[in-house]
Structure 1
């Protein structure tokens, strides 16, 4: 008994130390990024940095507003494409598909999440960009092309979390609805989906975080023009691609401004994760969402 208590003590303390270490790592990274960005904020002004419409380091212009808008455009369009497909797939896999189909679909979806970003980007560069150029005009490097790639990349995240949320709905809800004469589709639409909605919202938010933080694939297909896109077929530059493209040769204030871009990106992603945690803590995943 004493040996068991000792083992539990060490396991508990080990997990506690691991958690504290993870928190320290996050705050260390944040402190480093902010400290490197402060000279740019002091010289250029934080709000000027956020709202400026021109990014021209050679001229001392460091406005990231076009890249914030570009990141939002690409992310929202990818969600418009990915969310309906993800939800339909999650509902089909959990509520409709036979076991054999589930066994086939699950590894396929897991494979999508394991494909490297460069592979997605290369596919977009060699296949999607020429198709978009031919059918919609322009260069083919655009918000639309980047959103197509990102929509495929975030599918596994949204499908997996949504499927878990649907699976967490108590079986008694299904039985009660069917016992009252509801069809299978009515049960899914009016009982299961509303019950799983908090978890589905969390899945979408995590998908947003995945999309807005993607870099390599977007670099290869977005066009990387630091301007507010006039349409979904115009080229665009996102916050992440701005850092990746220019960090290799940036110096002085330009270098600090790129860290300022990282701070803005960190704030956006942190806000999304806070919203996801709030949804989980307030509503839970599963039956509480219907009450």
Structure 2
């Protein structure tokens, strides 16, 4: 009797087997994800460097050249593959859209957290979340039919350009920045707010002097997430920016981003040619910029956590 009870207590239970099985499944899924990420990084890197290893294009000329003409030769007898206009345009559109979206996102977050009642907050949150589910092509079509004619009527020209692209991207990244900003503001400890009220501060003084300062790292992280979303957007920007490869001189002339050039050109090239390799090099630049934004988010998050702990 004693031996049977001892064996019963020492033998693994059903929950133990289930936990072990769950760990195995989780580890297997994690390994698949890691393998996929490494494969994508390796594939894009391998194809992207062919422009410099096989086609012998200078890296400096690629990053800082102003002429994009992979299918023809320039004055030096070599194809001109300069991605600087697209890189500059991508950064310009991203920065302008983030600059427009940030104050709107902070205002919405403050309204949802401190001003609106529960019903108003839920209504605004539902409206913002609805914007996330709208496909990019819908944003692009709205921009093509509304934003481009509006820019044309105000500033003249064709209406296509960086300004139209930035306005469309502003609407697209607003839900992301707003949602993350709300989470950052709500993470501020309640006793900080109560202490501010106890010292005689008004609601707006508390928001400005306490809440926004404490949640600043989270807000910056939200903005960078929005910039990452804007930098990688392709279809909506392609429909309103004009897709003309030239160094931008103002916000209302047609231009081209890295993503718009990729989407318009990748289907018209042959694998292994310079034209195709150059597009893969643009994809490699996009990949590095995504990694840069992710590293920046990690740095800001760690500094914010260290500042909060101190």
TM-score bucket of the superposed structures, by smaller chain: over 0.9
For residues 100-155 of structure 1, the C-alpha deviation after alignment (integer angstroms, 9 at most, x for no partner) is: 10121111101101100000000011111111111111100010000000000000
- Does the 8 Å CA contact 1:117/1:216 hold for their aligned counterparts? yes
Question: TM-score, normalization: structure 2?
Answer: 0.90
1:259 is matched with which residue? Answer: 280
What is the match of residue 10 of structure 1? Answer: 21
CA distance, structure 2, for counterparts of residue 211 and residue 230 of structure 1 = 21
Partner of 1:44, secondary structure, is coil
CA distance in 2, matches of 1:164, 1:91: 11
- Structure 2 match to 1:85: 104
Matched residues in 2 for 1:281 and 1:11: separation?
Answer: 31
Cα distance per residue 1:177-231 (max 9 Å; x no partner): 1111111111111111111111111100100000000000001000111111111
**Partner residue, 2:45:** 34
Q: Which moved more, 1:102-111 or 1:16-25?
A: 16-25
* SS of residue matched to 1:247: helix
1:215 to 194, 213, 234: 234
Residue equivalent to 2:187: 168
Give the Cα separation in 1 of the matches to 2:21 and 2:199.
52
Counterpart position of 1:107: 126
Q: How many residues align?
A: 289
Of 266, 276, 299, the residue aligned with 1:247 is 266
1:57 correspondence with 2:70: yes
2:206 pairs with one of 167, 181, 187: 187
Task: Give the 4+ runs in structure 1 shifted more than 4 A.
Answer: none
Q: Provide the alpha-carbon RMSD of the alignment.
A: 1.5
Q: Paired residue for 2:75?
A: none
Distance 1:101 1:135 in 2: 35
Q: Does 1:203 align with 2:226?
A: no
Query: What stretches of structure 1 of length at least 5 have no aligned partner?
Result: none
Question: 2:308 is matched with which residue: 268, 275, 288?
Answer: 288
Q: CA deviation at 1:47?
A: 2.2
Question: Which is bigger in relative contact order (C-alpha 8 A, separation at least 6)?
Answer: 1
Shift of 1:173: 0.8
1:273 and 1:165 map into 2 onto residues whose CA distance is 18
Unaligned regions of 5+ residues in structure 2, if any?
Answer: 1-11, 73-78
Distance 1:88 1:16 in 2: 42
* 1:159-187 CA-partner distances (Å, limit 9, x unpaired): 01110011111111111111111111111
SS at match of 1:57: strand
